[in-house]
Homo-oligomer: A and B are copies of this chain.
Amino acid sequence: MSEQLGGAKLAQVALVVRDIEEASRRWADLLGVPVPNVITTAPGLEVEQTYNGAPSDARAKLAFFQLGPVQLELIEPMGGESTWQEVLDRKGEGFHHIAFWVEGMQRSVDYLREHGIPMVQRGDMGEGQYAYFDAEGRLGVTLELLEGKRETRATP
């Protein structure tokens, strides 16, 4: 693992949706698999969530389809300030991000910032953490990085 995402593994392709129960049913039908459980993220303030540098209590409903080693994730924002809500409001339903597993989150945050890709949201995720990056200007997409075991909480 270099400062780049060298060796990073594609983890997820994620979509924002307005009605996760309906979207889950449609994808399950299409893929010929059971409808997944819908989970709700912890209240943001309980997981040290920040959005644009400020604490965010925003939550979302999530559902996952395991497509081999990669997950198709559905995200229904539940209001509050978040990248989930921002993308849904601005673009409507559709792609939200692609996610990679990394080790050494802060090094990746620093590398991306130096390359014009700022961290816009982060939160704890069990013993690990997630962080979103606005790469729309540089790459046309939002990125997410996932770390299984955090050393420090990522800072922009």
The smallest C-beta distance from A5 to any residue of chain B, in angstroms, reads 5
Number of copies: 2
Residues A2 and B32 in contact, CB atoms below 8 Å apart: yes
Q: Which of A6-14, A43-51, A56-64, A118-126 contacts B (4 or more CB under 8 A)?
A: A6-14
Residues B138 and A26 in contact, CB atoms below 8 Å apart: yes
Cα distance A9–B65 in the bound complex, in angstroms = 12
Query: A31 at the A/B interface (Cβ < 8 Å)?
Result: yes
**CB-nearest residue of chain B to A143:** B30
Cα distance A81–B80 in the bound complex, in angstroms = 40
Q: Which of A118-150 contact B (CB under 8 A)?
A: 136, 138-141
Residues of A in contact, count (CB < 8 Å): 38
Residues B6 and A33 in contact, CB atoms below 8 Å apart: yes
**CB-nearest residue of chain B to A18:** B140
Residues A27 and B94 in contact, CB atoms below 8 Å apart: no
The smallest C-beta distance from A64 to any residue of chain B, in angstroms, reads 13
Query: A92 contacts which chain B residues (CB < 8 A)?
Result: 140
Query: A30 contacts which chain B residues (CB < 8 A)?
Result: 4-5, 112, 115, 139
Query: A6 contacts which chain B residues (CB < 8 A)?
Result: 31-33
Query: A8 contacts which chain B residues (CB < 8 A)?
Result: 31, 67
Cα distance A141–B68 in the bound complex, in angstroms = 20
Query: A10 contacts which chain B residues (CB < 8 A)?
Result: 13, 67-68, 70, 72
Task: Give residues in A with beta carbon < 8 Å to B.
Answer: 2, 4-10, 13, 15-17, 23, 26-27, 29-33, 67-70, 72, 91-95, 98, 112, 115, 136, 138-141
